[in-house]
Amino acid sequence: MARPSGTQSFPALQALSEDLTAAVERAGRAVVAVHARRRIPASGVLWRSGVVVATNHTIQQDEEITVSVGDGDRMPATLAGRDPTTDLAVLKLDPATGGSSPATVAERGADDTLRVGQIVLALGRPGRDVTASLGLVSAVGGEWRTWHGGKIDRLVRLDVAVYDGFSGGPLVDGNGHVLGINTSGLSRGAALTIPATTVDHVVSQLLETGRIKRGYAGVAVQPVRIASAAAESLGLTGSGALMAVGVAPGGPADKSGILQGDVLVAVDGARVSDPSDLLSALGPDRVGQRVRVQIIRAGESRTVELTVGERPVREER
């Protein structure tokens, strides 16, 4: 059929449009609506068979949770665990109670291939139908910690509109592969993606134990600078350190003899100059182990032994 006079053909644009539509259809089969709050449903992803990943801040109840896909039928789900520090929650579908989902498990891509400027899609199901938003990856960085102390393997910031109900939905590449879980709960004013590698790690722990084990020292710290002359006399390289501004009574730091006003210099020989350094030194694998903490007190360097505790569980929604 001849085109009407004055019209133009844009085959490349048409091909891109068809590719994006196919990507949404492919990834959208794994996207579910999560009914766990009074407002509109949030989104979730069927991450493994019978396992749905959602965002912690959108799961506002621990019981009577349901999920639904395009047919609108709701299926009961149980909360397997939540991790406020990474804003992730895991739900389990129970086939014995009708929880056999017609959704398909997400096809995942390699999140280490993400690049600044890459075209991506954010999907959600804040109701019966899948919705989509198109944009770019605006920033990619290394490992970082959330304001609650959770470790995220890779910083992925988006220039994508994440609409109400999109948190818990997937970040999708042009092939329809899921690269991570989108959330508005870890940053004010910017959409972020929790990469698939982090999601896998958290999901495995929550399914196994129902919680994420976190190291705990029981000391509040703030960064300080040691005078160059003092650092030189103490044989220290670098001036960054951490001052103990609060010590929890009966906590690991208190039991080790650390006092308010002590300056923490190193943990097992690794310098600490930022609170994130201390969090890294007290990882889940260190719980129950003894570490050597170098401190400065009254101008003198000394070493104390601290047994790493487990961070108390707090309800954070």
pTM: 0.80
Same domain, 67 and 180: yes
Same domain, 205 and 75: yes
Same domain, 169 and 254: no
Same domain, 196 and 257: no
**What's the mean pLDDT in 95-113?**
77
Domain tally for the chain? 2
Please tell me the least confidently modeled range out of 121-135, 195-209, 299-313.
299-313
Query: How many whole angstroms separate alpha carbon 142 and alpha carbon 137?
Result: 14
- Looking at the DSSP assignment, which residues form a beta bridge with residue 122? 133, 171
**What's the mean pLDDT in 304-308?**
95
Number of other residues whose CB lies within 10 A of the CB of residue 277: 20
Check if 177 is active-site. no
Rounded to the nearest integer, the mean pLDDT of the chain is 89
14 or 89, which is more confident: 89
Does residue 73 have a pLDDT over 50?
A: yes
**What's the mean pLDDT in 178-206?**
92
Query: What is the pLDDT confidence band of residue 99, given thresholds at 50, 70 and 90?
Result: very low
Residue 315 lies in a domain: no
Same domain, 47 and 168: yes
DSSP the chain: -PPPTT----HHHHHHHHHHHHHHHHHHTTEEEEE-SSSS-EEEEEEETTEEEE-GGG---SSSEEEE-TT--EEEEEEEEEETTTTEEEEEE-GGGT---SS-PPPB--GGG--TT-EEEEEE-SSSS-EEEEEEEEEEES-EE-TT--EESSEEEEES---TT-TTPEEE-TTS-EEEEEESSSSSSSEEEEEHHHHHHHHHHHHHHSS---EE--EEEEEEE--HHHHHHTT-SSSEEEEEEEE-TTSHHHHHT--TT-EEEEETTEE--SHHHHHHHT-GGGTT-EEEEEEEETTEEEEEEEE-EEPPP----
Same domain, 247 and 205: no
Q: Which of 179, 212, 245 is the last residue of a domain?
A: 212
Query: What is the pLDDT confidence band of residue 190, given thresholds at 50, 70 and 90?
Result: confident
For residue 147, the one-letter residue type is W
Check if 73 is active-site. no
Same domain, 25 and 142: yes
Same domain, 255 and 165: no
Same domain, 193 and 244: no
Query: What is the pLDDT confidence band of residue 13, given thresholds at 50, 70 and 90?
Result: confident
Q: Which of 212, 234, 261 is the last residue of a domain?
A: 212
pLDDT tens, 105-156? 999 999 999 999 999 999 999 988 999 999 999 999 999 988 777 889 999 9
For residue 279, the one-letter residue type is L
State the catalytic residue, choosing from 167, 184, 256, 273. 167
Residue 167 lies in a domain: yes
Residue 2 lies in a domain: no
Q: What is the pLDDT of residue 244?
A: 96
Tell me which residue of 283, 257, 261, 258 sits closest to 270, measured CA to CA: 283
Same domain, 79 and 177: yes
CATH number for 92: 2.40.10.120
Number of other residues whose CB lies within 10 A of the CB of residue 232: 12
Same domain, 109 and 248: no
164 or 198, which is more confident: 198
CATH number for 279: 2.30.42.10
pLDDT tens, 53-64? 999 999 999 999
Residue 295 lies in a domain: yes
Give me the domain span that covers residue 202: 8-212
Which of 79-88, 148-157, 185-194 has the highest mean predicted lDDT (pLDDT)?
A: 79-88
Residue 1 lies in a domain: no
Residue 247 lies in a domain: yes
Q: Residue 206 has which token pair?
A: 């929550």
pLDDT tens, 75-84? 999 999 999 9
State the catalytic residue, choosing from 35, 43, 68, 87. 87
In three state form, how does the secondary structure of 171-188 look? EECCCCCEEEEEECCCCC
Check: CB of residue 158 under 8 Å from CB of residue 192: yes
Check if 57 is active-site. yes
Q: Which of 160, 183, 212 is the last residue of a domain?
A: 212
Residue 305 lies in a domain: yes
Same domain, 219 and 184: no
Query: How many whole angstroms separate alpha carbon 257 and alpha carbon 110?
Result: 46
Q: Is the dihedral of CA 109, 115, 120, 122 positive or negative?
A: positive
Does residue 103 have a pLDDT over 90?
A: no
Residue 3 lies in a domain: no
